[in-house]
Structure 1
Amino acid sequence: MTLSEEFLTAYDRQLRTDAETPSAIAVEHLGPLRLVTFAGGRGFVTYQDLGGASAQTIAQWVAEALAFYRSDPAIVRVEWKTRGHDYAPGLRETLLANGFEADETESIMIGPAGALTADVRLPPGISLRRITEEPDIRAMSAMQDEVFGDAVSAGNAEAILRRAALDDGMELWVAEHEGSIVSAGRLEPVPGTEFAGIWGGATRAGWRGQGIYRALTAARARAAVTLGKTLIHSDSTEYSRPILERYGLLRVSTTTPYYWRR
């Protein structure tokens, strides 16, 4: 087994469980599917594998899962998380036929946490810190909304604040210039596993290419090592993937989210 295959096996076994959705407020099961409900009217469909199901069975599951979420008027958006290495005949076509839309495909990156901890020189005037206070979290959320091309959403900020209140190990990190957040991301140690995830990485366009995201990643990796985690995983855009590859993370598969909106 290659190192990439070892990482992917660990990913499937350790992360594609309840560990994937620590902030869920409800989880229902439909065959191998986990139908997750998050605060803020968000549904999320995931699974460890589909057990070799046929296209016909998968189509039935998609229809039943969507009916489940449609029956709850509080649900406004559902994400169906697919992985490129899964055997899932007809899934993409069925999701599209049921009103889901594909978002950007990202790379599943995994590697040793220690490989990411190198010191990185920051541009003049840039500082890093972990944030915990509500005004900082709201400012971080607004910056991420803007960078991702979304309208600034109080709902997104509220979801992060609710998650922070759980005190489940999640850490929020930012890079600032003259009191303004220019880059941000979170660290999510996964209880009972070797893994910590790095998520939500966003850097304002004018500050990219200067090592800020790399430094923010190193800070989160050092925090993960302190917590005893040995592996880092991330779903990475084509912007962040090359940065992680340079420091030893491997692209083990891909993930494509499909979204249904009420």
Structure 2
Amino acid sequence: MVDTAALLTAYDEHMRTPPGPGPAGLTYEPDGPVIRVVGGHEGRIRAPRDLGLTGDEVDRLIARQRDYFRARGEGVEWKVRGHDRPADLGGRLTAAGFTAEPPSAVLIGLAEEVAAEPVLPDGVVLRATQADEDLRRIADQQTEVWGFDLSWVADDLRSQVAAAPDRISILIAEAGDRLVTSAWAVFHPSHDYVALLGGTTVPEWRGRGLYRALLAARAGEAAARGCRLLHVDASPDSAPILRRLGFHEITTSTHYRWTPIE
């Protein structure tokens, strides 16, 4: 039996805040219990499980983050997990003008159990890349699938590659000239968690095992590197696949976003 409580404890210890210095152009600014991530396509707030604050103290902390990014003319995103404290944090963010997105399931898998030889549909080629042109194509593909501007993904991936190319593994699956699936894994140097991100397939290629193939490939690399645990913030489409592969849900995550009014 997997000890999900122990997985949640490890997640809270290692996956809540940025690991070490950020890529060029990105800074981490502490403000009380939280860290402001500044310099990306939008601001981000990363926080411990328990802010250690209540009532008006929480409201003032939220207002400071919102107003900091308002002064920069930028939006800001605050990720809240289902077990975070204070329990009314989400409601206080909403009262401060943040908007909640649909929650994701936070799932943890064991790399050695998920690792496998990728099984690809006929005519599809899987390859690793850090080439600038491929990063642009990934951003275009993600924008196409999700239906809103994700051009910033290229810059984000590019900055991670420039900062520490051995800490990010980027995979694409192609059918001829068509990029059909993209995904990446971020390896953290101080612990054995690996964050699995992307995992996006164009509509006409869904249901053919591509998501599972790229998952197996990234898990295989994680296991080969000696990394034990795989972390995914899973959408409702991805979560059932991951559960069938043995991933365990430990909590939920909800992105609260504030955007300046133009």
> With structure 1 as the length reference, what TM-score do the two structures score?
0.92
| Partner of residue 241, structure 1 | 239
Deviation at 1:51, TM superposition (A): 4.1
| Partner of residue 44, structure 2 | 44
Structure 2 gaps of 5+ residues are none
For the 8 Å contact 1:121–1:215, the answer to whether it is kept is: yes
| Partner of residue 158, structure 2 | 161
The CA distance in 2 between the partners of 1:13 and 1:91, in whole Å, is: 20
The CA distance in 2 between the partners of 1:58 and 1:17, in whole Å, is: 19
The CA distance in 2 between the partners of 1:59 and 1:19, in whole Å, is: 27
1:181-230 deviation line (CA, Å, top 9, x unaligned): 10111110111101111001111111111111000011111111122211
The CA distance in 2 between the partners of 1:201 and 1:69, in whole Å, is: 30
Distance change in 2, residues 1:53/1:186 (3 Å): same
Q: Which amino acid aligns with 1:166?
A: A
| Partner of residue 175, structure 1 | 173
SS of the aligned residue for 2:220 comes to helix
Deviation at 1:86, TM superposition (A): 1.0
For the 8 Å contact 1:27–1:35, the answer to whether it is kept is: yes
For the 8 Å contact 1:7–1:111, the answer to whether it is kept is: no
Deviation at 1:152, TM superposition (A): 5.5
The CA distance in 2 between the partners of 1:118 and 1:2, in whole Å, is: 20
Stretches of 4+ moved more than 6 A in 1? Answer: none
In terms of mean alpha carbon deviation, does 167-176 or 46-55 score higher? 46-55
Q: Which amino acid aligns with 1:30?
A: D
| Partner of residue 141, structure 1 | 139
The CA distance in 2 between the partners of 1:212 and 1:233, in whole Å, is: 19
Q: Which amino acid aligns with 1:11?
A: Y
Structure 1 gaps of 5+ residues are none
For the 8 Å contact 2:106–2:231, the answer to whether it is kept is: yes
SS of the aligned residue for 2:119 comes to coil
Superposition CA RMSD, Å = 1.9
Q: Aligned pair 1:123/2:124, yes or no? A: no
For the 8 Å contact 1:108–1:233, the answer to whether it is kept is: yes
The alignment-based identity, stated in percent, is 32
The CA distance in 2 between the partners of 1:163 and 1:143, in whole Å, is: 19
SS of the aligned residue for 1:18 comes to coil
Mapping 1:1-262, distance limit 5 Å:
3-19=3-19, 22-23=22-23, 25-40=26-41, 42-73=42-73, 76-151=74-149, 153=151, 155-168=152-165, 169-262=167-260
Distance change in 2, residues 1:22/1:251 (3 Å): farther
1:125-158 deviation line (CA, Å, top 9, x unaligned): 11111111111111111101111221352x3322
Distance change in 2, residues 1:21/1:109 (3 Å): farther
The CA distance in 2 between the partners of 1:217 and 1:86, in whole Å, is: 28
Deviation at 1:22, TM superposition (A): 4.2
Deviation at 1:110, TM superposition (A): 0.6
Q: Which amino acid aligns with 2:38?
A: T
SS of the aligned residue for 1:19 comes to coil
The CA distance in 1 between the partners of 2:203 and 2:173, in whole Å, is: 14
Distance change in 2, residues 1:249/1:164 (3 Å): same
For the 8 Å contact 1:221–1:232, the answer to whether it is kept is: yes
The CA distance in 2 between the partners of 1:22 and 1:190, in whole Å, is: 12
Q: Which amino acid aligns with 1:7?
A: L
* Count of residues paired in the alignment: 258
The CA distance in 1 between the partners of 2:31 and 2:20, in whole Å, is: 17
For the 8 Å contact 1:132–1:172, the answer to whether it is kept is: yes
For the 8 Å contact 1:113–1:229, the answer to whether it is kept is: yes
The CA distance in 1 between the partners of 2:116 and 2:227, in whole Å, is: 16
> With structure 2 as the length reference, what TM-score do the two structures score?
0.92
Q: Which amino acid aligns with 2:71?
A: S
